[in-house]
Amino acid sequence: MLNRLIPAALLAALSSAAQTATAVTYPQTVTHAAGTTTIPRQPLRVVALGPHALDLLLSIGVQPVGYGEASTFLKTPAFGSPIRDIKYLGSRVTSAPVNVGDRFNPNLEILTSLRPDLIVGENYAANVYPQLSRIAPTLLFDGINRNQWQKTLPTLARVLNREAAYRTALSTYNKGVQATRTQLSAFGRKRVLVVWTAGGDARNTFTISGSDDWTGGLLRDVGLNVIDGEKKDAVVSVEGLAALDPDVVIVLAAGTSTPTRARAEWTAGAITSRLRASQAGQVYFFDYHLFRRIRGPIAAQLVERQLVKTLR
């Protein structure tokens, strides 16, 4: 009888709200790269170990209480202090997370003091996984392969009761890929070689980023014809670059190098400066940290913006 007095549209909305409210239940048991972890309740205090984990969390609206990164990329070297500046992702961080130290070997005392109810990182931290798990439920994910985050993020969103935010993030990513593909359509038939180098003494040694890793996979998603090496992360000499003879080269400055320094070394090189791509003005220089280390939906947006700005 009561149902007859309530409009059908309102009944549908109430039913939908009820389903949403009960969609996520705890405890949850999650299988991840380092094992199986039970999450007893919805996590509210989350620590991100590394930029990849931070990207994933921010993309679904979760602000971390702690963050671990290589000290090279932090302007606040003192562990235990709030982090004010995080490269590329800092403008999206509003929580002033505490610096817990190295993302692969964080300071356990500081971690404990934060009283986290979830720690999220990458499988590189597997050697300290038992210690991390004693502090809080810990999830370590693989993130280096093509579109790997699209397998990880739904799991993380479910654990954090952020599934609607995940769907929004995925939709935004897909729209960005399609828009970038259209804007870079002129490059579709060109053979694009993506490499990274630390420069300096290693300036004549390059590692190929193929189409199956995150970087090459994203570039292929936006329509670039990425060249693969003979094996994953194949290392080639400067003579090897000449043998591949690509139409376009994307150089990622790694280690202590910068895009500006990488450009100067490339231009000064007797062989690199004479490559067909160099002569055609089709060599581009970017930061390894953005293009290879963050590897999430936010990084994808930032990479796409740089590609469109530089390659068009």
Report pLDDT for 188: 83
Answer yes or no: is pLDDT of 74 > 70. no
Alpha helices in the chain (DSSP H): 8-23, 51-59, 108-113, 129-135, 149-159, 163-183, 214-221, 238-244, 259-268, 276-279, 288, 297-311
The vertex-130 CA angle with 128 and 136, nearest 5°, equals 100
Average pLDDT over residues 148-168: 96
Task: Using the predicted structure, report yes or no on whether residue 312 has a pLDDT greater than 80.
Answer: no
pLDDT (0 to 100) of residue 302? 98
Residue whose token pair is 């720690």? 119
The enclosing H or E element of 225 equals strand 225-226
Place of tokens 């930061």: 287
CA of residue 44 relative to chain centroid, distance: 22
Q: Is the pLDDT of residue 78 over 90?
A: no
Higher pLDDT, 75 or 122: 122
| Whole-angstrom distance, CA of residue 172 vs CA of residue 290 | 19
pLDDT score at 79: 81
Residue-level pLDDT at 261: 97
Query: Contact 124/30 with Cβ under 8 angstroms?
Result: no
- What pLDDT score does 71 carry? 61
Tell me what pLDDT residue 70 has: 75
- What element of type H or E holds 250? strand 248-253
pLDDT tens-digit series, residues 161-182: 999 999 999 999 999 999 999 9
d(CA 17, CA 117): 27
Give residue 83's pLDDT band: very low, low, confident or very high (50, 70, 90).
confident
Angstrom distance (rounded) from CA 104 to CA 65: 17
* pLDDT (average), residues 5-15: 42
Confidence of residue 21 (pLDDT cuts 50, 70, 90): very low
| Whether residue 16 has pLDDT greater than 90 | no
pLDDT tens, residue by residue, 188-219: 899 999 999 999 999 999 999 999 999 999 99
